[in-house]
Amino acid sequence: MEAAIEKYLALKLGVPSVKVSHLLRIPGGASRETWMFKAVWNDEEERHAEEFVLRLDPPASLVESEREHEYAFYRAFEGHPEIPVPRMRWLETGPEHMGAPFFIMDRIPNCESSPRTILEPFWAEARPMLARRKYEILGRIARFDWRGSTIESVIAPPALDACWKRELDYWEDMIDRHEISPQPISRAAIRWLRANPPPPAERISVVHGDYRTGNFLYRTDGIHGIVDWEMAHLGDPLEDLAWSFMEAWEWARDGKKGGIIDVEDAIAAWEHTSGMTVDRDALRWWDVLMGVKGQALWLTGAHSFADGRSSELILAMTAYWLNNFQDEILLRSMGRSA
């Protein structure tokens, strides 16, 4: 893999050769292969040494999305430091260089991303600030004016009153195509969602699609990058809020959302920067849908593993652990737990 990256970078940088080292696959990803590496090269004037991250499409994953799509969302936030993202460098949509589509971005150094690390005692002092920042940034994403940005080239905005149905249809179809066994709890949730639709979205916003602890890069002084935009789209901003609140992300199992913040504090931070007020009934609708979405993702991963398209153990784990856990979450979301 080093050789392929070296050849590609030399081509893109217009230099005779590039030396790649410290190539490591970053653990945790269940949807894309993410690799980090160092690259050194000389041009006519000086020696360069930079760190990069490569995101490579795998044969199968939890998510079915286009690499070009994710790249466009990252690019849209260049020049908007209030929504920090890594700088994008190169995108390839064909298999000719690495065997699959990929993009390369700058690596933001010396950051953590693990949802468990932030729970360690070392982070106790910084944790409340990081938690508040997480939702302040999400509020800014909700308020971001995407019109005229790279996002418009890859996705069409839905109507205000169509956001809920588009998402519900999408995730129901995902379950239709990937369930290994019937899902009576998810199907009951879907019937409830269709019978009790939420009001139209207050505005059409950028929706990250996987906004949770684990998908931002942090140091003790703040959040330096929002990553993993592969499920990003335009829609109701309450969707991101509901997804970030999902019980599956309560890493400490203490009721704190994302393991780090009480729900009311999170909503207050989000409302402060988004300029919007959370409709609690609508948020509950999105909470149930996010339970269905979670199940659809776990079923997709389990299906990929079961049919042999992927041998990633994390996808087997979704089948043995997360499918039933997500059903338990759905029962609680619908007020149907014991």
Partner 1 sequence: MRPPIPHTLQVVAGTLATQVLPEARTPFGQQAVGLAAQLCVLISQEFDRAVARLVEENGAVVALFARATDVVPAGELRDRLAAAAATPVPGPDLRVSALQVVNDDLRRMLIDLHAAVEQLATPEARALDAAIWDELRASTQRRHLMQG
Binding site for partner 1 (CB under 8 A): 24-28, 181-185, 187-188, 191, 313-314, 316-317, 320-321, 323-324, 327-328, 331, 336-338
**For residues 266 and 244, is the Cβ–Cβ distance under 8 A?**
yes
Q: Look up residue 85 and give its two tokens.
A: 């993202």
Nearer to partner 1, 238 or 319 (CB): 319
Q: How far is the CB of 324 from partner 1 (least distance, A)?
A: 4
Least separation in angstroms between CB 211 and partner 1: 22
166/187 with CB nearer partner 1? 187
Nearer to partner 1, 183 or 244 (CB): 183
**What are the tokens at 153?**
């080239």
Is there a contact between 322 and 297 (Cβ–Cβ < 8 Å)? no
Query: Please, which residue, 78 or 327, has the CB nearer to partner 1?
Result: 327
CB of 188 to partner 1, least distance (A): 6
What span, in angstroms and rounded, lies between the C-alpha atoms of 278 and 213?
Answer: 21
- Other C-beta atoms lying within 10 Å of the C-beta of residue 66: 13
Q: Do 105 and 92 form a contact (C-beta atoms < 8 A)? A: no
- How far is it, in rounded angstroms, from Cα 170 to Cα 152? 20
Least distance from partner 1 to the Cβ atom of residue 193, Å? 13
For partner 1, the closer of residues 137 and 227 by Cβ is 227
**What is the C-alpha to C-alpha distance for residues 277 and 222, in angstroms, rounded to an integer?**
25
**Would you say 10 or 36 has its CB closer to partner 1?**
36
Kindly state the smallest distance separating residue 285's Cβ from partner 1, in Å: 18
CB of 192 to partner 1, least distance (A): 9
Decide: helix, strand or coil at residue 58: coil
Comparing CA positions, the residue from 79, 25, 23 lying closest to residue 51 is 23
- CA separation, residue 30 to residues 90, 316, 324 (Å): 22, 11, 18
